Amino acid sequence: MDNFVHINANTRYCGLLGYPVRHSASPSFQNAALSFLHLNWRYLAMEVHPKSLFHAIEGAKSMGFIGLNLTVPHKETGFKLANKVNPTAQILGAINTICFEGLNKDGEWLPIRNWKNDSPVEVRSVGYNTDSDAIPASLKENFGFVSAQKSILILGAGGAGRVAALRLSAEGAKKIYIINRTVQKAENLAEEIHSHYPGTEVILQYPDPSEKVDLILNATSLGLKSSDPIPLDINQFSMRQAKYAFDMIYRPAETPFLTMARQSGCQIANGINMLLYQGAASLELWTGLPAPIEIMRKALIENIYHN
Ligand code: ATR
């Protein structure tokens, strides 16, 4: 942090809006990156009640913020409030990143970082979903895994499971099995996949015992608490049927789900890289520069596992 350009009247801001937000590791690794890049910027975390989201985004717009991250529970409302949304986020109906853009006198919308001495005529918010980008990036880094033509079992059809299922289908997955406690949510998700990605077969039950899957992915919240049960029915599916096991949870670093998978011979990984890559992609959108991944990774791991 010693590289930080001191806060002065030229300091620009980005930030995270969530409710709650105090647990977030994002300020630690985003500020490490800003410092490394010698930008006179800061990344702040702000607890914003859902009732105030509109005013918070408009306030950030008025105050010359470069951009925002949105976390639970703001991703869907943020999508509705954004002035423009990129095509990936359009399908997901949820955003976790906003870039502010300013209109110049020639009618062009340019990133707010480009305004140094003058002010734009008007500012708009453009929404992105970098959570979605982080899924293939993590699977690639952790396992060298590419989804095209693969069979994948996804546990959970909530916010995270839905983004994973849609993104992995977009990447060309051959078969996606989806299991969710509330069956209706899995059925709705299957409908969405059919309509956007008809090349992906969706099956709403466990694979047959004779069948193998390339990847099993936990996108439920089971495993966050030590008292949680394993997120799958081991009478219906054996981890030996899977090659790779990924848990979106990163704290604890190894959930009982991952322990069981490891003991069954799967290669395993937790969700820490998803947190890293969604943040890195947001930073790249705001700065227009390549994210210093290793600097961010070091700060993130320090914050999550050594604090
Ligand atoms: P997130 O945004 O993290 O995905 P979410 O949308 O609340 O959060 O989704 C949580 C997921 O964990 C859902 O798949 C949820 O199942 P339901 O859709 O049936 O709620 C799953 N989950 C949470 N608690 C569970 C439990 N006790 N047993 C089984 N699944 C559970």
The C-alpha atoms of residue 226 and residue 246 are separated, in whole angstroms, by 18
pTM of the model: 0.95
107-121, 228-242, 269-283: which has the minimum mean pLDDT?
107-121
Confidence of residue 219 (pLDDT cuts 50, 70, 90): very high
Instruction: Tell me the per-residue pLDDT of 105-116, one tens digit each, with 9 for 90 and over.
Output: 999 999 999 998
Q: Report pLDDT for 4.
A: 75
Q: Whose CA is nearest to atom 21 of ligand 1?
A: 220
pLDDT in tens, 193-203: 999 999 999 99
Measuring CA to CA, how many Å separate 158 from each of 51, 61, 154, 298?
22, 30, 11, 30
CA of 221 to the centre of ligand 1 (A): 6
* Percent share of the chain, pLDDT over 70: 99
Structure tokens at 79: 């999508």
Summarize the confidence of residues 277-287 as an average pLDDT.
Answer: 98
Residue tagged active-site, from 51, 61, 75, 175:
75
- At residue 206, the pLDDT reads 98
Spacing, Cα 159 to ligand 1 middle (Å): 8
pLDDT in tens, 137-172: 999 999 999 999 999 999 999 999 999 999 999 999
The distance from CA 10 to its chain's CA centroid, rounded to whole angstroms, is: 30
Residue 60 has pLDDT above 80, yes or no: yes
As a whole number of angstroms, the distance between CA 276 and CA 28 comes to 11
More confident residue, 218 or 1: 218
252 upstream amide cis, omega within 30 of 0: yes
| Distance from Cα 161 to the centre of ligand 1, integer Å | 9
Which residue from 178, 184, 221 has its CB within 8 A of the most atoms of ligand 1, so it is best to mutate?
221
pLDDT of residue 2: 58
Helix spans in 17-129 (H): 26-36, 53-62, 75-81, 87-92
Are 92 and 163 spatial neighbours (Cβ–Cβ below 8 Å)? yes
pLDDT at 195: 97
Is the Cβ atom of 188 under 6 angstroms away from ligand 1?
no
Check residue 307 and give its pLDDT.
76
Name the average pLDDT for the chain: 96
Beta strand 97-103 pairing with 242-247? unpaired
What domains, with CATH codes, occur in the chain? 12-129+275-306 (3.40.50.10860), 133-270 (3.40.50.720)
